[in-house]
Amino acid sequence: MILTSLWLCTLLAAVPGTATASEQQKPLAAQQKPIKAGNTLSKSLVNTDKLQDSIKIENLVSRAKELYSIAHLSEPEYGHPTRVIGSEGHSGTLEYIYSALESLGGYYTLSKQPFPAVLGKVYESRLVIGHEVPESASPMSLTPPTANREPVYGDLVLVENEGCDASDYPANVTGNIAFILRGTCPFGTKSELAGKAGAVAAIVYNYESGGVSGTLENPTPNHVATFGLSGKEAGPIVQKLKEGKVVDSIAYIDSEVKQIQTTNIIAQTVEGDPDNCVMLGGHSDSVSEGPGINDDGSGSLTLLEVATQLTNFTVNNCVRFAWWAGEEEGLLGSDYYVEVLPKEENQKIRLFMDYDMMGSPNFAYQVYNATNAVNPVGSEQLRDLYVDWYTKQGLNYTFIPFDGRSDYDAFIRNGIPGGGIATGAEGVKTKEEEVMFGGRAGEWYDPCYHQLCDDLGNVNSTAWLINTKLVAHSVATFALSFEGFPERSDAVTMDAYEKPVTYHGHRLVL
């Protein structure tokens, strides 16, 4: 499939008021309906301060209320609000975004990009080892069910090395349960090799004390039902197996893995140099467990509000907005988009900016530490734009790893400079960050990350407004000019990706 060329350029900016760190940790609250963009006959060239000034929290909150209402469309099937791909809630989200863009008077060229996606559901699971039910046992995402969706029985068989080669699997694994050390190769490879060796199930245990919550990624006919297990609980079991003792186990997973069609939405300014585009994206889907108002309703609605307000201005460079589907299933939409992008169109994207989770309740202002040394040249200049803006506002910031956890991954893997900002997910806020940003040390940045409670009460209005203004600034800056920004080059060195990354999306892959 050849993707219709769509590119967007915008210049955005505004100066938020400053407040103490503790004052910034306030619940989301606002009322009014979104203010529609103006439709003046004569528009001025995009100006970062004016674009930032147009960003109002009441507009963002009003959109969040609509999104939460849409998530309830999934209740008949899921029993709770969600916007996971394939659900009525996600279909409604796509309709809402596309309709809002259509109403903007032809400022954007719009495109829907359908693509095949894999959706997995685990309905029920249980693992028993000996006479114990391990607390850390967790079925892998996209795992197949056990045979006939019934419990399977077998002895644990310790796989040699890290289970990345067929020769690591002893003959007696046939009809039993493979016990495999995490590391070196993807979980999907381990599961497939276990299946080929005749195992009825597989358990991947951690080399660290913590648990393993990963994904098998692309399904294959040889995958077997696969659990993750913490290193702490696995340690005594490994010792028994090495001593030649028999450890029996019962594994049970009732799950479904199926292919569906879902859709990316792309909006590109009609105006602006189509050979020099600034691109930005967020994801339109949530996990199945909840409505995803912060993850990533906040990011996708930030994009929609900035796109709306940008229509009051003209741009020099094209701006392209993207709403990715299937991020929560493994960055499916952004991966597909870049995969089918012709080389000549790839070269027209000067940079990609990722905006995922803009308003975590226990937030920190996080900037991806994207350096030119290990990423496409230009990534560091984008990083510094965010740093300079926070510094100018008198706000603290912190760097976070640029490690493949969001939709920037496919872009930097294909030579396109990238970066972005976030406010934190399941990471734990430090004492130092409590001083810097307020909130509560020792707790997750988003206590409702990937849970049912990621609803309207799970977005911090201060962080969301400030970061949306920064998104506006990033768009406005490059929509106006790429002066001083590195030119794209065919010769791209990405040392960070010479070895496999641990994450692809929010789940571990190896």
Instruction: Give every CB contact of residue 34 below 8 A, 6+ residues apart in sequence.
Output: 59, 62, 63, 305, 308
342 burial class (0-12, 13-18, 19+ CB within 10 angstroms)? exposed
Q: C-alpha angle with apex 295: 290 to 299, nearest 5 degrees?
A: 140
* b/e map 144-155, b = 16+ CB within 10 Å: bbbeeeeebebe
Nearest to 386 by CA among 406, 362, 366, 408: 366
Active site residue 327: yes
Decide if 70 contacts 236 (C-beta within 8 A).
Answer: no
Q: What are the tokens at 98?
A: 């596309």
Nearest to 224 by CA among 258, 251, 185, 186: 251
List, as own/partner pairs, every contact residues 340-347 make where C-beta atoms lie below 8 angstroms and the sequence separation is at least 24, other chains included.
Answer: 340/1, 340/2, 340/3, 341/3, 341/414, 342/2, 342/3, 345/3, 345/5, 346/414, 346/415, 346/416, 347/488, 347/490
Q: What are the tokens at 167?
A: 């020769």
Decide if 185 contacts 202 (C-beta within 8 A).
Answer: no
Question: Using alpha carbons only, how large is the chain's radius of gyration in Å?
Answer: 24
CA–CA separation, 41 and 20 (whole Å):
41
Which amino acid appears at position 301 of this protein? L
Q: C-alpha angle with apex 206: 450 to 410, nearest 5 degrees?
A: 55
Nearest to 421 by CA among 340, 508, 353: 353
Measured from the Cβ of residue 58, the count of other Cβ atoms closer than 10 Å reads 16
Decide if 285 contacts 93 (C-beta within 8 A).
Answer: yes
Q: What are the tokens at 86?
A: 């394939």
Nearest to 139 by CA among 289, 224, 253: 253
Decide the pairing of beta strands 108-129 and 201-205.
unpaired
Query: Across the strands, what pairs with 87?
Result: none
CA–CA separation, 344 and 278 (whole Å):
15
Decide if 397 contacts 366 (C-beta within 8 A).
Answer: yes
* b/e map 350-382, b = 16+ CB within 10 Å: bbbbbbbbbbbbbbbbbbbbbeeebbbbbbbbb
Q: Which of 305, 327, 329, 434 is catalytic?
A: 327
474 burial class (0-12, 13-18, 19+ CB within 10 angstroms)? buried
Peptide bond into 275 cis (omega under 30): no
Provide the annotated active-site residues.
327
